[in-house]
Amino acid sequence: MASAVNVGSLNLPKMMRHLSHRTSQVRDLTFVRNAIKQKDVKTTKSGGTLEGPPVSFGYEKSSSAKTTGSGDGGTLAADTAYHIDSPEIVIPGLTMLQSPIVSRRGALEKTGHRISGACAFHAPSLDYIKALDNFKDTKAFSELETYDKLYDMERVIINPSNVSATQQTTTFTFVDATSGYEADRVRFKIKTTGTLDYVQLSANIGGSAATLKWRDDSPVQGLALSGTTFTTIDLPVSRVEADDTASIYKDGTRTEFTASLTGGFDIDKLYGDSNNELSSLIVQLSGSALVELRDIYLYKEAEWRIQSIKDYRDEYMRVAAVRVRGERASRRRAYG
Amino acid sequence: MAKDFLNVIERAMLMGLSDKINTATADDNDVYFYGEFPEAEEVKFPAVVIQQVASGFQEKVMGETMTLGSSTGKGEMYGIAYNIHIIIERDTEVIVTGNSEPYKQRRLLNWVMLNVANEMQDLDFSDYQEEEMEITHRRLLSWRDIGFMPEFQWYGASCDYTLTFKNYRG
């Protein structure tokens, strides 16, 4: 964090540090912005090129990659080209003061039961946020926008002890009959001179082994980490299907991790008996190295969507957010 | 292959209208067509938004059998209703072919209204369709809400357009 950033007369970051010792209303959030996908564009008709500009149908395709030059058999005009690849942004480590922490309103509606809620976050000034680790290096982040998401740890489900050792495999083994159906994501801070190979959650479903493994499948596998500063890893563990992808940002650079599943891994089925349980969390490096892991959480997430932003410049921002997703844990355990 | 007439018609209509209207304007004097209200970052004027507002079965046919090209199979008549909106920013200029003076404001709005209406009646979908289909009826109702929005500095107009096609299911 650059010390030259003006923190305003209130000095909200300092206030939050003090408050965090007394109240859990100071939250450690993960900032998430969805990928900006290409739109479906056509430039040709049967036997020729369309007059005028390329016709954009408005709906998205599946890729966020940059498009320039030719496309759809013709040449895309500058106004429909994508200047740069815009994948999702996932940056943990954004601290805000939240009130209230849990806001949950349930309504039984025609289409089922819906959980909603609303809260306000008080955030440090934009200049301060843009000087934070990862935020300062991620050029795609310029400001908070409406419809950006903030993932909060609504409830910690499992919190293994910190580890400091020289080894390749770090395994956190859970006690017998540990349930997992409440967990949505796993987050930990890691400092190592080694390279992160994969993160694996192991379970038993119906007495058989099942695993969820997040791994960098690019040609140069693995994410080289820092031996001097902690990198925060935050990955989803619920509703994950094979070949789903997740992003890990380090120093503003995104590494894409891909999910692979064995044994039909489904965390909702881990209702917590000896045959349907979470067994372990494995953090695997590509070779033996000094590794420190801390603040390890399997947690139930609360997904907040930014609805309005009031910026008081040097002082702070007031961010109103709504929660439109949520489920009843009882139903998730029964048939989720 | 599952039938996809709603998308085929919408895409053909957008391509066809854009192609025909922009043939009648000078180079780099484009009219932009959108299948939904565009995002602020991508909107360009004059904008024509074709918004589907309803669709459903229109009419059953005797024996529930119809032909599409050389094929015969089950199907019925299916209708779609669109709202078409024209939005023109106050300073937008378009040179219509054959004129040296650019069209602006109400003059441009009048020209776009009439030419969109004409092309909606005359459009040959076969040049633009990505799958065989047959439109049997189309009707553009009168333009309405023609006017100027001072808050946005926009000229605009809207109309309803209905279309019926053969929902051939093989």
For chain B, what are the domain ranges?
A: 5-168
Task: Give me the mean pLDDT over the A241-269 stretch.
Answer: 95
Of A259, A295, A274, the residue nearest A203 (C-alpha)? A274
Question: Between vectors from CA A127 to CA A125 and to CA A128, what angle results, nearest 5°?
Answer: 65
Question: For A80-129, what is each residue's pLDDT tens digit?
Answer: 677 788 999 999 999 999 988 776 777 776 666 667 788 999 999 999 99
Mean residue pLDDT of chain B comes to 93
pLDDT bucket at A72, cuts 50 / 70 / 90: very low
Return the higher-pLDDT residue of B8 and B61. Answer: B8
**Does the beta carbon of A57 lie under 8 angstroms from any beta carbon of chain B?**
yes
Assigned domain for A48 exists: no
In terms of residue numbers, what domain contains A232? Answer: 12-34+89-335
Indicate the number of domains in chain A: 1
Distance from B162 to chain A by nearest Cα, in Å?
20
**Does the beta carbon of B30 lie under 8 angstroms from any beta carbon of chain A?**
yes
Query: Which residues on adjacent β-strands are paired with residue B60?
Result: none
What pLDDT sits at residue A73? 44
**Does the beta carbon of A61 lie under 8 angstroms from any beta carbon of chain B?**
no
Cβ pair B18:A51 closer than 8 A: yes
What pLDDT sits at residue B64? 87
Distance from A46 to chain B by nearest Cα, in Å?
6
Distance from A85 to chain B by nearest Cα, in Å?
17
Cα(A286)–Cα(B78) distance, rounded to whole angstroms?
60
Whether the CB-CB separation of A58 and A45 falls below 8 Å is answered with no
Cα(A237)–Cα(A115) distance, rounded to whole angstroms?
21
Query: Which residues on adjacent β-strands are paired with residue B36?
Result: none
Token pair 């940002």 is found at: A249
Residue B11: closest C-alpha in chain A: A57
Task: Give me the mean pLDDT over the A36-51 stretch.
Answer: 88
Q: How many beta-carbon contacts under 8 Å exist across A and B?
A: 52
- B107 pLDDT above the threshold of 50: yes
Assigned domain for A323 exists: yes
Residue numbers in B near A52 (CB within 8 A): 18-19, 21-23, 25, 30-31
Distance from B137 to chain A by nearest Cα, in Å?
23
Q: What would the 3-class secondary structure string for chain A be?
A: CCCCCCCCCCCHHHHHHHHHCCCCCEEEEEEEECCCCCEEEECEECCEECCCCCEEEEEECCCCCCECCEECCEECCHHHCECCCCCCEEEEEEEEEEECCCCCEEEEECCEEEEEEEEEEEECCHHHHCCCCCCCCCCCCCCCCCCCEEEEEEEEEECCCCEEEEEEEEEEEEEEEECCCCCCEEEEEEEECCEEEEEEEEEEECCEEEEEEEECCCCCCCEECCCCCCEEEEEECCCCCCCCEEEEEECCEEEEEEEEEECCCCHHHCCCECCEEEEEEEEEEEEEEEEEEEEEEEEEEEEEEEEEEEECCCCCEEEEEEECCCCCHHHHHHHC
Question: For A142-199, what is each residue's pLDDT tens digit?
Answer: 999 999 999 999 899 999 999 999 999 999 999 999 999 999 999 999 999 999 999 9
pLDDT bucket at B82, cuts 50 / 70 / 90: very high
pLDDT bucket at A308, cuts 50 / 70 / 90: very high
SS3 of B23, please?
helix
Cα(A177)–Cα(A204) distance, rounded to whole angstroms?
9
- B161 pLDDT above the threshold of 80: yes
What pLDDT sits at residue A181? 93
Cβ pair B30:A59 closer than 8 A: no
Assigned domain for A188 exists: yes
A93: which 2 tokens?
A: 């480590």
pLDDT bucket at A70, cuts 50 / 70 / 90: low
**Does the beta carbon of A147 lie under 8 angstroms from any beta carbon of chain B?**
no
Cβ pair A52:B34 closer than 8 A: no
- Residues found in chain B: 170
Assigned domain for A150 exists: yes
- A1 pLDDT above the threshold of 70: no
Cβ pair A53:B25 closer than 8 A: no
Residue type, B34: Y
Question: For A296-305, what is each residue's pLDDT tens digit?
Answer: 999 999 899 9
Of A12, A218, A1, the residue nearest A93 (C-alpha)? A1
What pLDDT sits at residue A79? 59
Measured between CB atoms, which of A47, A50, A58 is closest to B15? A50
pLDDT bucket at A58, cuts 50 / 70 / 90: confident
Residue numbers in A near B45 (CB within 8 A): none
Question: For B87-106, what is each residue's pLDDT tens digit?
Answer: 999 999 999 999 989 999 99
Positive or negative: CA dihedral A134, A140, A141, A142: positive
Cβ pair A52:B35 closer than 8 A: no
Residue numbers in B near A55 (CB within 8 A): 14-15, 18, 33
Measured between CB atoms, which of B14, B25, B36 is closest to A55? B14
Cα(A75)–Cα(A97) distance, rounded to whole angstroms?
49
**Does the beta carbon of A219 lie under 8 angstroms from any beta carbon of chain B?**
no
What pLDDT sits at residue B1? 58
Residue type, A138: T
- B86 pLDDT above the threshold of 70: yes
User: Which residues 66-105 of A have a C-beta within 8 angstroms of B?
Assistant: 79
Residue numbers in B near A53 (CB within 8 A): 18, 22, 30, 32, 44
**Does the beta carbon of A14 lie under 8 angstroms from any beta carbon of chain B?**
no
User: B12 — alpha (psi -120 to 50), left (phi > 0) or beta?
Assistant: alpha
Cα(A30)–Cα(A27) distance, rounded to whole angstroms?
10
Assigned domain for A320 exists: yes
Distance from A74 to chain B by nearest Cα, in Å?
14
Cβ pair A57:B127 closer than 8 A: no
Residue numbers in B near A46 (CB within 8 A): 126-128
Cα(A110)–Cα(A130) distance, rounded to whole angstroms?
43
- ipTM of this complex prediction, to 2 decimal places: 0.86
Percent of chain A with pLDDT over 70: 92
What pLDDT sits at residue B128? 93
Cβ pair A58:B11 closer than 8 A: no
Cα(B35)–Cα(B52) distance, rounded to whole angstroms?
8
Would you give the end-to-end CA distance of chain A in angstroms? 42
> In angstroms, what CA-CA distances link A246 with A92, A203, A242, A283?
13, 21, 12, 16
Assigned domain for A148 exists: yes
**Does the beta carbon of B128 lie under 8 angstroms from any beta carbon of chain A?**
yes
A62: which 2 tokens?
A: 């599946």
Assigned domain for A142 exists: yes
- A328 pLDDT above the threshold of 80: no
Query: Which residues on adjacent β-strands are paired with residue A201?
Result: A212, A281
pLDDT bucket at B137, cuts 50 / 70 / 90: very high
Pick the CATH number of B5-168 from 3.30.2000.30, 3.60.40.10, 3.30.930.10, 3.40.50.10540: 3.30.2000.30
SS3 of B125, please?
helix
Assigned domain for A51 exists: no
What pLDDT sits at residue A40? 87
Question: For A191-235, what is each residue's pLDDT tens digit?
Answer: 999 999 999 999 999 999 999 999 998 877 899 999 999 999 999
Question: For B26-76, what is each residue's pLDDT tens digit?
Answer: 988 999 999 999 988 889 999 999 999 999 998 888 888 888 888 898 999
> In angstroms, what CA-CA distances link B57 with A20, B61, B165?
61, 11, 10
